[in-house]
Amino acid sequence: MKNDNNKNPDSKKYACHVSHSEPGPGDGGRTGSWRVLRPVIDLDKCIPAKRNKPACFSCWLYCPDGVITKTVPPTIDYEYCKGCEICAEECPADAITMVEETLMIMEEK
């Protein structure tokens, strides 16, 4: 809540820095840089991808950072995915494998 009724004229000189964040993507910083292992979805095994209809979505449900979409097929936002591996653990179809981030980066180069 911004308050424009501040009666103290001196306070304007002190635009102090604090750490406030609002709900929304990325306000906790680019947490994807923490990742050591990257979850990669095999669309040949993924249930909603295979059936081409909304189903399962265990990965979306369990992801503690909310970076997996409830779409067909599901997608992972690597900007913020920390690589915690919960999605791979929970996937009933074993469609998600954790791949060394260094290998992925070398591959992308």
Binding site for other proteins (CB under 8 A): 1-3, 5-8, 10-11, 13-14, 16-30
- Cα 33 to chain centroid distance, Å, stands at 11
CB of 33 to other proteins, least distance (A): 9
User: By C-alpha distance, which of 107, 105, 70, 85 is closest to 40?
Assistant: 85
Of residues 89, 108, 93, 73, the one with CA closest to residue 39: 89
Which CB atom, from 5 or from 52, has the smaller least distance to other proteins? 5
Q: How far is the CB of 77 from other proteins (least distance, A)?
A: 15
Please work out, in degrees rounded to the nearest 5, the angle formed at the alpha carbon of residue 44 by the alpha carbons of 38 and 49.
90
State which residue, 17 or 109, has the beta carbon closest to other proteins.
17
How near is the Cβ of 4 to other proteins at its closest, in Å? 9
